[in-house]
Amino acid sequence: MANQEIFDKLTNAIVTQDIAGCAKLTQEALDAGISPLDIITKGLSPGMKIIGDKFEAAEIFLPQIMMSGKAMSSAMEILTPELEKTRVEGEEGTGLAITFVAEGRNRRKRCRSCKSCT
């Protein structure tokens, strides 16, 4: 499977709130030699962008956002150990914060990531 096809399937898994599928595709992407950073920036993040746009247009609501967030978390559980391997010993890492506003409340999820994820 070509990298772009994997990225498209990851994006779709986020949009369709497919938690198990997102985890499976993330592992397949890693097995195919795709870097964790590329998986996040080219596969997972575009899906969350689509979800945010749909929420802004009132096409989806909080439950769908939460399910997409769970799909993203399932992927990050697999990616986090791989990202930890890329950290340079003794350097402080940076964090990736995902924030959205739902019904007037801020909801935040912080994911540990490698230094190059800023």
> How far is the C-alpha of 24 from the C-alpha of 117, rounded, in Å?
23
Look at residue 90 and tell me if it is in a domain. Answer: no
pLDDT in tens, 59-89: 999 999 999 999 999 999 999 999 888 765 5
Partners of residue 95 on adjacent β-strands: 112
Look at residue 108 and tell me if it is in a domain. Answer: no
Look at residue 100 and tell me if it is in a domain. Answer: no
The predicted structure's pLDDT at residue 84: 86
The boundaries of the domain holding residue 30 are 3-85
Q: How many CB atoms lie within 10 A of CB 59?
A: 10
Q: Which of 26, 9, 105 is nearest to 66 (CA)?
A: 105
Mean pLDDT, the chain, whole residue set: 83
The predicted structure's pLDDT at residue 86: 78
Instruction: Provide the number of structural domains found in the chain.
Output: 1
Which residues in 97-114 are b (16+ Cβ under 10 Å) and which e?
ebebeeeeeeeeeebebb
Work out the average pLDDT over 51-63: 95
Look at residue 7 and tell me if it is in a domain. Answer: yes
**This prediction's pTM:** 0.73
Residue 24 belongs to domain with CATH number? 1.10.1240.10
Look at residue 103 and tell me if it is in a domain. Answer: no
> How far is the C-alpha of 76 from the C-alpha of 79, rounded, in Å?
5
The predicted structure's pLDDT at residue 114: 46
Amino acid identity, residue 16?
T
pLDDT in tens, 90-116: 556 566 656 555 555 444 444 444 444
Look at residue 31 and tell me if it is in a domain. Answer: yes
